[in-house]
Structure 1
Amino acid sequence: MLNLTRPDGASEPGDFHLSRRTAVSMFFAGYALAAVAADAAPVTTPADGLVIEEVLIPNGAAKPLPAYVARPAGKARHAAVVVVNEIFGVHDYIKDICRRLAREGYVAIAPEFFYRSGVDRPALTDIKQIIPIVQQAGIPQVDGDLKATTDWLKGQRFARPAAIGVTGFCWGGSVAWRAAMIDPDVKAAVAWYGQLKPLLGRAGELHAPVLGLYGALDQGIPQTDVEAMRAAVKAAGKQAEIVVYPDAPHGFHADYRDSYREADARDGWARLLRHFRAHGVA
């Protein structure tokens, strides 16, 4: 049930907040069934001391954009990070990343970019069913939803509007790169193994510094693309650092999958925190 705080419609920042006490969750409970490893022991971050909310963000569509939010309790304003999911949507791994960021003092928000399909992606077990849904989410639509999210953050009493970052994983890694190109409210971005080839010609559009985290054993992102992006960024005079982990495959941060590499994931996370803090997202 959507709780509106005012009878004349939802026009105040809090009007699109859902109460966890009265609402059924909008998000899948569990890990993406198409990718979770049988012997996985994923990181689980407690929510004590945090405020967990599910919100609906106005984005000009007939139905607003659902998002999961984790933030520190209290009345202070905090820097914010938009967390962009993999192809599986918002499931327990993405929610946990939000809670990890919240425990570092951030407002973390994970929009459900694929909600228009009406399909619960994490519940699907066949990757062949998931890909067409992802393909329906075109770049203009996704970039528009991201901008709607940063606009929403700027209107919240708990967020600092001049301190917004973006991080994304796999599919979301490419979105993080684009966010540093198309959204002036984004001050820094961290891309985990996002595709680079479609972005090579757009390096000159970067306005915010990007940290890219990649695996040398990634079968879907060749090192030639990594080197090409490094060269493109340098030629454009833009700011981006790309770190390559020699023994890491694609998805090395995903602690619910066989691809997880704990040491590289921890190092990448420490770099993420340093990157955000060095560029005003703190």
Structure 2
Amino acid sequence: MCYDDNARPPEPPKKNGKARGEDIALTAEDGNRFAAYIAHPEHPSGPQALILPDIRGLHQFYKELALRFAEVGITALAIDYFGRTAGISSRAEPFEFMPHVQKLRLSTLIQDIRAALTYLRTNTGADQPVFMVGFCLGGTLSYMTGTHDLGLTGVIGFYAGISRDFGSGKKLLDVAEQIRYPSLGLFGGADQGIPVNAVHTLDEKLSKAGFEHEVVIYPGAPHGFFDRRSADFAEASADAWRRVLGFIQAHSSAAH
């Protein structure tokens, strides 16, 4: 598990207004209804972030993360994964997520992501840059969305798992060379579930894809280091925020 109910995202480096958030439900093309949370900035700067949570789905950490993005001017939408198997009830602990995780399939996840992108483009701006921002399972999914024609501006993955295939039979390293958008990857050097040599292999495969990318490994940082409680890794968290916001700003400017 990436984050428990007590985890909170670190504060971004500089805020430029308040944020307003609300729980919503979205509907995919196949009729699946799933939970989501939208955060609106007081002073929108243009870019939009679609947040893909960790293995537990949409819980409080990601709602607060959406608000932190909105406080720096970025409209943020966080989605849940388990509408098809668990409905739209709360993902607070002690939600038994693993039986639902095992039923996830890339094809239906992409349907949900398309519905979320449609919501963003319909309600907050059809021509604005959109970035995927994923964590753990969502980090892998963020990269994998980069192999689909979704009209993204960039993909960002925190601690993207290398071995997950979402029932597709192809893992991240199998498809990395097909990613068609700029990407940013953030990893902990002491993450026991993601070997550093696998991260280096991902970096090499992204180079072959031909799109701008950056892979950052924070020495000594564990899985889930991006957490306000992790005082020992506050510097890594602050640097991760700077890199994420810098990536979004740079590619948003390039998109216009």
Contact 2:140–2:160 (CA under 8 A) maintained in structure 1: yes
Normalised by the size of structure 2, how large is the TM-score?
Answer: 0.84
Aligned match of 2:140 in 174, 199, 203? Answer: 174
For residues 147 and 212 of structure 1, what CA distance do their matches in structure 2 show? 22
When Rg is computed on C-alpha atoms for both structures, the one with the higher figure is 1
For residues 153 and 164 of structure 1, what CA distance do their matches in structure 2 show? 9
Q: Post-superposition, which runs of at least 4 consecutive aligned residues in structure 1 deviate over 4 A?
A: 40-46
Aligned match of 2:220 in 237, 240, 247? Answer: 247
- Per-residue CA distance 1:168-204 (angstroms, 9 max, x = gap): 1111101111122214321111100011241112122
Aligned to 2:117: 150
- Per-residue CA distance 1:80-127 (angstroms, 9 max, x = gap): 1001111122222111110110011111000111232226442216xx
For residues 84 and 41 of structure 1, what CA distance do their matches in structure 2 show? 16
1:236 and 2:209 equivalent? yes
Aligned to 1:19: none
Aligned to 2:168: none
Letter in 1 for 2:94: L
SS at match of 1:155: helix
For residues 54 and 154 of structure 2, what CA distance do their matches in structure 1 show? 19
**Alpha-carbon offset, residue 152 of structure 1:** 1.8
Normalised by the size of structure 1, how large is the TM-score?
Answer: 0.76
Aligned to 2:252: 280
For residues 234 and 217 of structure 1, what CA distance do their matches in structure 2 show? 24
Letter in 2 for 1:143: I
- Structure 1 residues 189, 277: CA separation in 2 closer, same or farther (over 3 Å shift)? same
Instruction: State percent identity of aligned pairs.
Output: 26
SS at match of 2:68: helix
Q: Residues 29-68 of structure 1 correspond to what in structure 2 (within 5 A)?
A: 35-36=4-5, 43=10, 49-68=18-37
Contact 2:3–2:224 (CA under 8 A) maintained in structure 1: no
Aligned to 2:59: 91
**Alpha-carbon offset, residue 36 of structure 1:** 4.5
RMSD over equivalenced CA pairs, Å: 2.8
For residues 244 and 33 of structure 1, what CA distance do their matches in structure 2 show? 17
SS at match of 1:56: strand
SS at match of 1:88: coil
For residues 66 and 146 of structure 2, what CA distance do their matches in structure 1 show? 20
Aligned to 1:191: 157
Query: Gaps (5+ residues) in structure 1?
Result: 1-31
For residues 154 and 130 of structure 2, what CA distance do their matches in structure 1 show? 7
- Structure 1 residues 130, 34: CA separation in 2 closer, same or farther (over 3 Å shift)? farther
**Alpha-carbon offset, residue 277 of structure 1:** 0.9
Contact 1:84–1:175 (CA under 8 A) maintained in structure 2: yes
